[in-house]
Amino acid sequence: MIRRWSAAVVAGLLAAVTVTACGGGDDGAGSGSDDGKITLGFSQVGAESGWRTANTKSIQDSAKEAGIDLKFSDAQQKQENQIKAIRSFIQQKVDIIAFSPVVESGWDTVLKEAKDANIPVILTDRAVDSPDTSLYKTFIGSDFVEEGKKAGDWLVKEYASATDPVNIVELQGTTGSAPANDRKKGFGDVIAAEPKFKVVASQTGDFTRAKGKEVMEAFLKSNPDIDVLYAHNDDMGLGAIEAIEGAGKKPGTDIKIITVDAVRDGMQALADGKINFIVECSPLLGPQLMELVKKVNAGETVEPRVITKETTFTQEQAKAVLPERQY
């Protein structure tokens, strides 16, 4: 009996703590849909990287600019937090819900609840695997395959006049993740057209600098003749640059380097001539998202898939934009 009581008390305490934790994020302004302003509930994945932080900032800033009342919730990389946040948005009767799903599956129930409450949902940055596409209005985010293709296109152009075989090593992202799979595929498809391009080694560097360096060290020893490095993100490229320098070679000259993302440290290396080409994967989708929010709120039809406005950077372009780079 006593044990059951104490269990109940502990459960009660836990619930109280969770409720307080959730309540902390609210601004206490209530539903706020009466003053004519659009209310947007946004559930972010977390703050796991500089990229994500820039993403959050972009959404917050552009909401303010567009005069949209933003209710922001950080899921700390947990799906249950995100589901809780979406349910609380439904209860608060926000006009539109947007979120970056932590994982791909398990969203059907909560998205149906939103649909039943007549609240349109917009996905940002990451997709869900639900077969029922009526559960959300649109998905805005980068096209990772396209990013890989852009990287491949640059390489083909750069080596257009070369006749010798070009030895490429590839640093993949976290095994099985969508960006890693798609960036590898897009790049591979483009370079497959010309037999002179050869990927001599391809390993995962887990998207981190430390692993990027470690794997590149091993590549340099097992493949004495490397012409090009293609890294699925800037961080692995930055780690690899240190490995290349340690081997007494000049990154950017002896080994040409292509990366994806264009975060500040990567752009700095590009401007310094250590990286040759960066394909942008922009976190700054705030303005585009707010445009979509207004359209959806007005009942206009929107494209089911919206690609983030993204570009690519050469060394000269990096020098020009570096001073005003936000992230």
Partner 1 sequence: MNTLVKHRLFWPVAMLVALLLSNLAFTPSFFSVEVRDGHLYGSLIDIVRFGAPLIMVALGMTLVIATGGIDLSVGSVVAICGALACWRISEQGDQNSVAGVLVAVALALGLALLLGAWNGFLVAVVGIQPIIATLILMVAGRGLAQLITDGQIITVNSSPYKLIGGGYLFTVPFAILVALAVTALAVLLTRRTALGMLIESVGGNAEASRLAGIHSRRITLMAYIVAGLCAGIAGLMISSNVSSADGNNAGLWYELDAILAVVIGGTSLAGGRFSIAGTVVGALLIQTLTTTIYTTGIPPETTLLFKALVVTVVCLVQSPAFRAKVFKGRRRRPSAPPAGPAAATTEKVEVPA
Q: Pick from 177, 289, 151, 162: which is nearest to 229 by CA?
A: 151
Q: Is 215 one of the binding residues for partner 1 (CB under 8 A)?
A: yes
Q: How many residues bind partner 1 (CB under 8 A)?
A: 35
- CA distances to 2, 162, 202, 258 from 233, rounded to whole Å, are 55, 26, 14, 9
Picking from 70, 52, 72, the residue whose alpha carbon sits closest to that of residue 62 is 70
**H helices then E strands: how many in the chain?**
11, 12
Q: Which of 55, 100, 172, 259 binds partner 1 (CB under 8 A)?
A: 172
Note whether 49 binds partner 1 by CB under 8 A.
yes
Among 120, 141, 186, 239, binds partner 1 (CB under 8 A): 239
Q: Which of 22, 247, 302, 322 is in the footprint of partner 1 by CB under 8 A?
A: 247
If binding is defined by CB under 8 A, does position 191 make contact with partner 1? no
By beta-carbon proximity to partner 1, the closer residue of 49 and 297 is 49
For residue 66, list its beta bridge partners. Answer: none
Is 208 a residue that touches partner 1 (CB under 8 A)? yes
The one-character DSSP state at 302 is -
User: Considering only 146-154, 245-253, 274-282, 315-323, which stretch makes contact with partner 1 by CB under 8 A?
Assistant: 245-253
Contacts 24+ apart (CB under 8 A), 143-146: 143/182, 143/307, 144/178, 144/179, 144/181, 144/182, 144/183, 144/186, 144/281, 145/182, 145/183, 145/185, 145/186, 146/186, 146/307
Rounded CA Rg of the chain: 23
- Binding of partner 1 by 177 (CB under 8 A): no
Task: Tell me the two tokens of residue 271.
Answer: 């401007």
Shortest distance (Å) from residue 172 CB to partner 1 = 6
One of 9, 13, 162, 218 touching partner 1 (CB under 8 A):
218
By CB under 8 A, name the one of 144, 154, 219, 313 that touches partner 1. 219
Tokens linked to 85: 């946040």
Interacting residue with partner 1 among 60, 79, 92, 203 (CB under 8 A): 203
CB of 292 to partner 1, least distance (A): 27
Transcribe 258-295 into DSSP letters.
Answer: EEEE--HHHHHHHHTTS--EEEE-----HHHHHHHHHH
297 in contact with partner 1 (CB under 8 A): no
First to last CA, the chain: 57
**176 vs 195, which CB is nearer to partner 1?**
176
At closest approach, how far in Å is the CB of 47 from partner 1? 4
52 binds partner 1 (CB under 8 A): yes
Closest separation in Å from C-beta 35 to partner 1: 33
- Compute the distance between CA of residue 113 and CA of residue 97 in angstroms, rounded to an integer: 12
Residue number with CB closer to partner 1 (204 or 308): 204
CB atoms within 10 A of CB 181: 18
> Of residues 246, 253, 304, 320, which one binds partner 1 by CB under 8 A?
246
Give the pair of three-digit tokens for residue 260: 């994806």
248 in contact with partner 1 (CB under 8 A):
yes
Using CB under 8 A as the binding rule, whether residue 265 contacts partner 1 is answered as yes
> Nearest-CA neighbor of 228 among 287, 155, 163, 319?
155
The residues in 86-145 that bind partner 1, with binding defined as CB under 8 A, are none
Beta bridge partners, 305, equal 139
By CB under 8 A, residue 4 contacts partner 1: no
Closer by beta carbon to partner 1, 88 or else 204: 204
Binding positions for partner 1, rule: CB under 8 A: 47-50, 52-53, 172, 175-176, 201-204, 206-210, 213-215, 217-219, 221-222, 224, 235, 238-239, 242, 246-248, 265
